[in-house]
Structure 1
Amino acid sequence: MTEVPLLPEYAENPFIVGLGPMLTLEQIQQRITVVPRYAPEERQQHATYRRHCCLRLLRAFFPLTSQIRAVDGLHMMIRDGYLGRNPLAGGHQRAILDAVERIEREDIEIESEHVAISTVGSAANIGVPGMGKSTTFELGTKLLRPVLRPDVGYSVAQIPAIIVLCPAEGSVKQFCRNFFKAVDKRLGWTRYSKQFGKDAIPAETMLLHVQHLAHLHAIGVIIVDEIQNLMTATGKNVGALMKFYVTMTNTIGIPVLLIGTMSATDVLQHGFHAARRGDGYGSQVWDRAADGPEWRSWFKQVWQFQWTSQRTKLTDELAAAVYRETQGVLDLAVKLHMLVQMHVITRSEWTGEPEIITREAIELVAAERFNMVRPMILAMRDGDVAALDGFRDISGFHVAVDQALAKLAGLTTDEYRRRKMMEEASQEAPLVNDPFHMVRASLAAQGFSEKEVDTIITNAETMVSSADHLLVMQKILELVAKANVERSTPRKIPRPKMERQPVQDPNDVRNQGRGSRRGDKTAAA
């Protein structure tokens, strides 16, 4: 496929050149599609083996047209945002100086004294939960890996995009900590979280460090996910965070993309309208998929991954049944297909019935497994707008699915979630070479806090003067074993001292002893 040439203004900017070639829509579709591992001969394996194979669908992703266009829009947003920060034209250096000046004067709203017109915009993507918003943009950012740039005046680790979780209740400090952790994760260290995320640092100062790091690492766009969390925030927090998002766009010149469910609409309309180009890149609203050709074509891709011993052909009746039970919510459709296969395989193992997917099986599994989101599905099916307003997310469904999958895998829910964490961490590729990246992920999956992990690794490195990674690893294992022993050993609670009650009988020898001592003390006095 012919490579699309860069625009002249793009080719003159190292930050844009470092992103690589511009991708066509077809290339984006190919690169963000995640096909689960599959081999036809696996359908002849034991039932338990095949049930575990079904879990692969949790990691599958087949993009719709709207999702492909969203990634294309994200890449345009990043490139356009870099135009005003061209390091060869001095724009990047001026931005860093401005950031330092704001820190020194402790005022994030100071306008730049340099002649620079901010042309960046902002955008929002809201929609029904389970439509792949977060996954789409996460995969889109991974197409643009962080790169080391020694050619811009200093060796900077350029980060094209960062995804930050909007904290519950809209805590400004927690947002900043989430930002520091997100940057640290991309770079493979914990430096910024330790340096700037301390409790003693005021929220306003943390925000100043956020904008400084955004310039220092030439972040192309800040993606704020779960923006609907501001619905439960206090008025002060909502105002502070929304004001900061607008400031990042208008004053500091870094694009901001907000992602959330439909419940975030009011927050965005009332708080984000101040951005100069608040809809400059085209905000999107993702509703559930309509039961039409695109949805049928999408679900056909999902359906082909079957691990039942007998392959079931997708008919209009089966496709209609799946749509009726999921109402076009992509996440639910994938999980229903997975759970129905597990049900059919398990039933056959116990009863000997053929492993065939039927409409009755689809309806039965949906009734049993989707009971936590049943009211939302019925509200969608009936077009009950008032009822839909009460559903902000489908987190309850995800909890129920985790429990069901853990049970099928013979694990506790906590063990299952830890394995998921390990797998997700193993897929991350930090820019800075951290030899203990997987160790950190493993310890986190075992329940160790980030502080405990840092302490263990730091102590292990201190104990090995040669910095030999194998010796450090040995010390880490020793410290972890010691920590696990301490965790499992019940702490001895000291028995409270019993207060001896006074003896009433004056002739009791104990009273006589006390009396004599008291008498001695009195006499001495």
Structure 2
Amino acid sequence: MSKKRTEIRQTSRNIRVVDAIYIQCKLECYRGNPLIEALPPPVSKTKWKERLQQQPAMLPAERALPPELRLHCALKMKRAFIVQARHLEICEKTDLLLRSAYVGVSLGESERRRRAQEWYACVQSGQVPDFGLGEQANGEFFSIIGSSGMGKTQSLLHFLEWIPEVIRHTASQHLQIPVIYVQCPHNGSTKDFARSILRAFDRLLGTSFDKENDRATEETLIAIAAALMDRYFVGLLVIDEIQNLSHKKSGGREEFMDFFLQLFNVLHLSIIVIGTMKAAGVLQTTFRQARRASSMGSVVWERSKPNDKGWTRLLNNLWQYQWQGEPTELTDELADVLYDETQGITALLVRLLILVQHRAIALGIAELTPKLVRKVASDNLVLLRPMLAALRSGNPARIAKYDDFVIPELDEFAEISGAFPRESFSATESAEGAEAIKEDTRRTVLSMLLSLGLSEQVAEFHLKAVLDVTPEATPLEVMNEVLARTKGKSARKSTESRSKKKSEGAAELPNGYDELRDAGWLPPEGGLGATDEPGDAD
């Protein structure tokens, strides 16, 4: 039975197409190239800042609206985009990469098309294509690496809003798709990656390439993806979440590398990869040849420091969005607390400010205070506490464990989802002192447990369980209980039993005492209530 040949046919549902309007380029190397002259002309950094900056209007009259409406107003902060120097650098380099990929490429038959066709024929016949992978490519390579929640992807997507998705060149009836944006699959699969490229074309053109090739082999999918990028004159391929490639074994990464180099060298695409700090290893191995062939370098986007000008500007711009009553002035103490609770992560700052607004509006709080910020953070950022604790520690080994953490969406926080019970202002304020003591206890005991060699994951799990039941326990009592739990026993008694023993002067030591004593955390003799004063012993 002969194998059915996969057909790549043009769609009649061009749902995102604009007709090309050509603007003559001033640069000789770009002039006369319709693929470049159909793109929006390059602009200055000042112009890019005007295009990217998004600050929804904050109307003073909105503070007089009913609480249920002001809660909606607070969501305006999600749409705010405060331009930083990194954003402008990304826009500038992305524009350069896009145009450089089209140099020497025409709308007619070209060397690029001939080589792509020969490569496709080799793959379909089962042969290994060889077109000199060591040659210098026309396209460029650029990487954007940084902590989660800093706005890497958002920056690029804002740039792409100013680039037409599909351009029709009416004279030749060719379609041009300047940019294809895809995410690296969670398993790092080359087959799934090729399929995601097909889905990107389907989204832009209204086609069904993915569905038509649902049973295709990996080699066929790769060939089809490459042929589509050639047919529709793709200039820039953006690969997000590239750290997922680290999940693959070395053989799988080499397989992905082969595909990547074919795109880079045969089709002469420009390629941008985006990922977390964990992607650094991938860049040092899988993409090393592309990095040598490119002069664009990379942007390493670390979290902000408390005194960074960009962080200060971001905080000042977002602080103006207040609907709880008369605006509260941003004091140094408030700024310090906001940084401590978010550790310089942009997305987390935006979410926390929205959550604080929701708490203040719901409870009728007129003034924003450090205590309120701490309380809201304590109630809502529970899942992020281990990551934030690692960032506060400054320990590279601990921080590395959370390189690929994900900032929850706003509706996943208790304040928004409704999991948090609405309480009065007095209850929120009075709970602050107890919560602060509980948090201090947690941090103290966590540090002690880690120094004893207990893994952070196990320590955090047992700490939470103990403090949820006995939030008033002292650090030593909490540590005893955690050590006992790790041995499969519980040193905790009920409140009534513990009170009875204290009143009877019971001297029984809890499980885990020996471990504490040997580690030097307790006196060598006596119980938790014992003293070193002469005469205390019988």
TM-score (ref. length: structure 1): 0.70
Equivalent position amino acid for 2:210 in 1: S
Aligned partner of 1:121 in structure 2 is: 140
Q: Secondary structure at the match of 2:199?
A: helix
Give the counterpart of 1:246 among 261, 280, 283. 261
Aligned partner of 2:302 in structure 1 is: 287
Distance 1:399 1:333, change over 3 A: closer
Give the counterpart of 1:296 among 297, 312, 323. 312
Aligned partner of 2:8 in structure 1 is: none
Aligned partner of 1:136 in structure 2 is: 155
Shift of 1:156: 2.6
Q: Secondary structure at the match of 2:187?
A: helix
Shift of 1:205: 1.0
Give the counterpart of 2:384 among 361, 368, 373. 373
Counterpart Cα distance in 2 of 1:403 and 1:283: 37
Q: Percent identity?
A: 28
Equivalent position amino acid for 1:366 in 2: A
Q: What is the correspondence of 1:430-449 to structure 2 with a 5 Å cutoff?
A: none
Q: What is the correspondence of 1:375-454 to structure 2 with a 5 Å cutoff?
A: 375-395=386-406, 397-398=408-409, 401=412, 404-407=415-418
Does the aligned pair in 2 maintain the 1:261–1:393 contact within 8 Å? Answer: yes
Does the aligned pair in 2 maintain the 1:127–1:260 contact within 8 Å? Answer: yes
Shift of 1:99: 5.5
Shift of 1:14: 0.9
Shift of 1:129: 0.5
Count how many residue pairs are aligned between Structure 1 and Structure 2.
397
Distance 1:275 1:8, change over 3 A: same
Distance 1:389 1:409, change over 3 A: closer
Give the counterpart of 2:48 among 28, 34, 40. 28
Does the aligned pair in 1 maintain the 2:136–2:265 contact within 8 Å? Answer: no
Distance 1:112 1:86, change over 3 A: farther
Aligned partner of 2:358 in structure 1 is: 342
Aligned partner of 1:363 in structure 2 is: 374
Counterpart Cα distance in 2 of 1:132 and 1:275: 25
Counterpart Cα distance in 1 of 2:58 and 2:277: 35
Does the aligned pair in 2 maintain the 1:170–1:234 contact within 8 Å? Answer: no
Equivalent position amino acid for 1:387 in 2: R
Residue ranges of structure 2 left out of the alignment (5+ in a row): 1-22, 422-538
Does the aligned pair in 1 maintain the 2:140–2:296 contact within 8 Å? Answer: yes
Give the counterpart of 2:167 among 136, 148, 154. 148
Shift of 1:372: 1.3
Equivalent position amino acid for 1:297 in 2: R
Counterpart Cα distance in 1 of 2:92 and 2:24: 14
Does the aligned pair in 2 maintain the 1:6–1:21 contact within 8 Å? Answer: no
Residue 269 in structure 1 maps to residue 284 in structure 2: yes
Q: Deviations over 1:100-127 (max 9, x none)?
A: 54555455744289xx963222121111
Residue 228 in structure 1 maps to residue 232 in structure 2: no
Residue 157 in structure 1 maps to residue 175 in structure 2: yes
Name whichever of 55-64 and 360-369 sits farther off.
Answer: 55-64
Equivalent position amino acid for 1:192 in 2: F
Aligned partner of 2:347 in structure 1 is: 331
Aligned partner of 1:429 in structure 2 is: none
Counterpart Cα distance in 1 of 2:291 and 2:118: 20
Equivalent position amino acid for 1:239 in 2: E
Give the counterpart of 2:33 among 13, 16, 32. 13
Does the aligned pair in 2 maintain the 1:148–1:155 contact within 8 Å? Answer: no
Residue ranges of structure 1 left out of the alignment (5+ in a row): 349-353, 411-525
Counterpart Cα distance in 1 of 2:158 and 2:193: 22
Aligned partner of 1:168 in structure 2 is: 186
Aligned partner of 1:315 in structure 2 is: 331
Shift of 1:32: 2.0
Q: Deviations over 1:165-200 (max 9, x none)?
A: 11011122211221111222222x14222233x1x2
Aligned partner of 1:209 in structure 2 is: 224
Distance 1:106 1:151, change over 3 A: farther
Counterpart Cα distance in 2 of 1:139 and 1:408: 33
Distance 1:108 1:303, change over 3 A: farther
Distance 1:251 1:127, change over 3 A: same
Counterpart Cα distance in 1 of 2:137 and 2:247: 32
Q: What is the correspondence of 1:70-89 to structure 2 with a 5 Å cutoff?
A: 70-87=90-107
Q: Secondary structure at the match of 1:305?
A: coil
Counterpart Cα distance in 2 of 1:378 and 1:4: 55
Shift of 1:315: 2.3
